[in-house]
Amino acid sequence: MSRRFRSVAGWYLLLIVPLLGTIVFNVYPLIKTVIDSTLNMQGHFIGFTNYNIMFSDPEYHQSVGNTFYMGILSVIINIPLAFILANMLNSIPRGQNIFKVFLILPMITSIVTVAILFKFIFSPDPASMANYILSIFHIKPFSWFSDIKTSRESVVMMSVWKSIGFNVILFFAGLQTIPTELYEAAKIDGANERQRWLYITIPCIRNTFIFVYLTSCIAALKSFADVYAVSSEYGDPGGSLFTIMLYIFRKSFSTLFSKDTGLASAASVFLFLLILVITIINYLLTENSERVRSFFKIRRTGKKGALEE
Amino acid sequence: MKTGKQIRRHRKLTSSQIIYYIVLILAAIIVIVPLIWMVSTSFDRFDSAELPNPPRFLPANPSIFNYFVVFHNMNMLRYLLNTSIVAALSVILNLFTASLGGFCFSKGKFPGKNVLLLFVLSNMMVPFESKLLPVYDVIKGLHLTNTYLGVILPGLMTNAFFIFFIKKFCDDLPYDLYEAGVADGASKFRIYAQIYIPLMGPVMATIAILDILNVWNDLLWPMVVINKDTMNTVQVGLAIFGTSKNMQSLPGVSMAMSTLSVLPLAIVFIFLQKYIIQSIAATGIKQ
């Protein structure tokens, strides 16, 4: 009995770091954030007042609008483009690796470096690279990041440039798992290239699609580093780059704007709920995907292990 | 099973394949041109704040003046050192805790294993961004602000994804090895360290790569936890410089700093690109 007890205690001891970490850095912060969101700056309970203030705060409206606008735009551009490029990459006989290396290069470059680089490429100066290329086609120079009308689109272009390779690699890995027998059978049945693409390729990588789509959505909701690196915590020009995370950051840590931990916590809780909804949709949609199957396999084999004892 | 890769290997290029090549080359050029411009501008000496018109891709006055300015006037070397220490610490500790956790959840037999695993995996459900303030309070309470440990601790102790990934890998390793170890009288830790660790090579490499990419390029958390210039990581230092007013007037110096910030990872990338691409494809993780 004591031997068995020692054995069990040993396992718990070996798991002390992740268990403690989950309590200190996950459970406690989560509860603290929810509690904080119902307190005012003096620590008095004020119910849902913070949420009311937040939802009627024009700054918050602006941040949600910007986050969704940039998120939707980048998903609409990024995913189809990455899918098309991955298909092309999958169809060429030689040189796949070298293209993959080129496309993945921006991913090892941090978003801060990319932002500094693109501030020069997208500089309002007519001599900047982007404006120079436009001038070849006789298009008037843009102000890119500095103009309220183009700043959000410019940030989206920058983040697409940075993350396209990542999505191409994911789609390519998905395409590689489709057995060629399917294509050969379809060819024998007289399906043309377009039909094979539509009826074999797309259904077979449906799960990759959903995964890429939802991780992109979550990344877009949390977008912080790209806008911060371009415009610091101001979200300028004209607040057009002001995102939800920037709102939380400003209300939590800003030295330039008025802080309000209650509002920051309320915004954090709402962001968490948004992401939770997306994650749940992810699990429901990919019910028969590898990821979830392995997730539930743990539980099954785990139970079997418990029975064996 | 043959995969898509072999499908059309021994044929002549079709017309659509030629179009694919053209599009892919175009995409590769769009990706690579800004990076080439970054490196070339960093070696170019500018006497005015004006960008050259048309943009040039070979330095007109090749010099290392910009790097000289960066090393003399900015703490760039210090930032690089800080980030290297943070990255090295984070990788070592993550490999240790994640492999130990994965091993326990895979081979351990104790009551409540599934509940505890789900409990640990709950870290993956809560985005770090939505608990920024309380986590900062905890780190502050432990007096770890402005320390290397403070930068890595929250990520390290909530590395549920790595644990899960190692657990999945460990599930495929035979349980007999564990029993053989027990029969020989080895402790659990010794079985983990001497029998299972040597078998986890590939999955450990994946985790090391992903962790380096994450830690090196992280901005938000280091910025929150560090407010002393000599402790800044590369990304924080670069972000402060990049959002300052005079950055736009110093293209050469900015690009020298940017190049330096990318250089260490680029060197790693050159040697490990195959594994990096595999790791990303296998896990789908993104900073």
What confidence score (pLDDT) does residue B97 get? 94
pTM above 0.90, yes or no: no
- CB contacts < 8 A (A, B): 329
Residues 60-99 of B with CB under 8 A from A: 97
CA nearest A175 in B: which residue?
B4
* ipTM of the complex as predicted: 0.86
Q: With an 8 Å Cβ cutoff, is B252 touching chain A?
A: no
CA nearest B261 in A: which residue?
A113
* pLDDT at A306 > cutoff 50: no
Whether residues A302 and B116 touch (CB distance < 8 A) is answered with no
Taking the C-alpha atoms of residue B6 and residue A93, their distance in angstroms, rounded to an integer, is: 8
What confidence score (pLDDT) does residue B280 get? 79
Q: Which residue has the higher pLDDT, A36 or A43?
A: A36
pLDDT tens-digit profile of B81-116? 999 999 999 999 999 999 999 999 999 888 889 999
Q: With an 8 Å Cβ cutoff, is A203 touching chain B?
A: no
Q: With an 8 Å Cβ cutoff, is B55 touching chain A?
A: yes
Whether residues A305 and B254 touch (CB distance < 8 A) is answered with no
CA nearest B102 in A: which residue?
A15
Residues of B in contact with A269 (CB under 8 A): 130
Helix orientation angle between A206-221 and A261-285, rounded to the nearest 10 degrees: 180
Least confident of A68-77, B172-181, B246-255: B246-255
**From B9, B11, B114, residue closest to A299, measured CB to CB:** B114
Handedness of CA B175, B124, A106, B9 (dihedral sign): positive
What confidence score (pLDDT) does residue A296 get? 46
Q: With an 8 Å Cβ cutoff, is A256 touching chain B?
A: no
| Other beta carbons less than 10 A from residue B100's beta carbon | 23
Amino acid letter at A235?
A: G
Kindly tell me the number of DSSP H helices and DSSP E strands found in chain A: 17, 0
Taking the C-alpha atoms of residue B122 and residue B145, their distance in angstroms, rounded to an integer, is: 26
With a pLDDT cut of 70, the percent of chain B lying above it is 93
With a pLDDT cut of 90, the percent of chain A lying above it is 34
Task: Among A303-307, B55-59, B197-201, name the most confident range.
Answer: B197-201
Q: Which residue has the higher pLDDT, B14 or B137?
A: B137
Q: With an 8 Å Cβ cutoff, is B23 touching chain A?
A: yes
Whether residues A249 and B134 touch (CB distance < 8 A) is answered with no
Least confident of B66-75, B245-254, B264-273: B245-254
**From B53, B101, B273, residue closest to A127, measured CB to CB:** B53
pLDDT tens-digit profile of A52-92? 999 999 999 999 999 999 999 999 999 999 999 999 998 88
* pLDDT at A36 > cutoff 80: yes
Q: With an 8 Å Cβ cutoff, is B167 touching chain A?
A: yes
| Other beta carbons less than 10 A from residue B177's beta carbon | 14
With a pLDDT cut of 70, the percent of chain A lying above it is 92
What confidence score (pLDDT) does residue A273 get? 93
- The model's confidence at residue A253, banded by pLDDT at 50, 70 and 90, is confident
* pLDDT at A308 > cutoff 50: no
CA nearest A291 in B: which residue?
B283
- The model's confidence at residue A305, banded by pLDDT at 50, 70 and 90, is very low
CA nearest A29 in B: which residue?
B134
Q: Which residue has the higher pLDDT, B248 or B174?
A: B174
Q: With an 8 Å Cβ cutoff, is A42 touching chain B?
A: no
* pLDDT at B144 > cutoff 60: yes
Which pair of tokens denotes residue A237? Answer: 């020009």
pLDDT tens-digit profile of B22-37? 999 999 999 999 999 9
The answer to whether A100 touches A169, Cβ cutoff 8 Å, is: yes
**From A36, A113, A305, residue closest to B258, measured CB to CB:** A113
Whether residues B3 and A176 touch (CB distance < 8 A) is answered with yes
pLDDT tens-digit profile of A131-182? 888 888 888 888 888 888 889 999 999 999 999 988 998 899 888 888 888 8
**From A93, A161, A225, residue closest to B8, measured CB to CB:** A93
Cα distances (angstroms) measured from residue A94 to each of B28, B32, B253, B278? 15, 20, 39, 18
* Size of chain B, expressed as the number of residues it contains: 287
* pLDDT at A195 > cutoff 90: no
Whether residues A180 and B4 touch (CB distance < 8 A) is answered with yes
**From B35, B157, B167, residue closest to A21, measured CB to CB:** B157
Compute the average pLDDT of residues B63-72: 88
What confidence score (pLDDT) does residue A89 get? 92
Q: With an 8 Å Cβ cutoff, is B179 touching chain A?
A: no
pLDDT tens-digit profile of B118-128? 999 988 888 88
* pLDDT at A292 > cutoff 50: no
What confidence score (pLDDT) does residue A286 get? 66
Amino acid letter at B218?
A: D
Handedness of CA A193, A194, A195, A201 (dihedral sign): positive
**From A100, A125, A180, residue closest to B277, measured CB to CB:** A100
- Tell me the residue ranges of DSSP E strands in chain A: none
pLDDT tens-digit profile of B201-226? 888 988 998 899 889 989 999 999 99
DSSP 8-state symbol, A141:
P
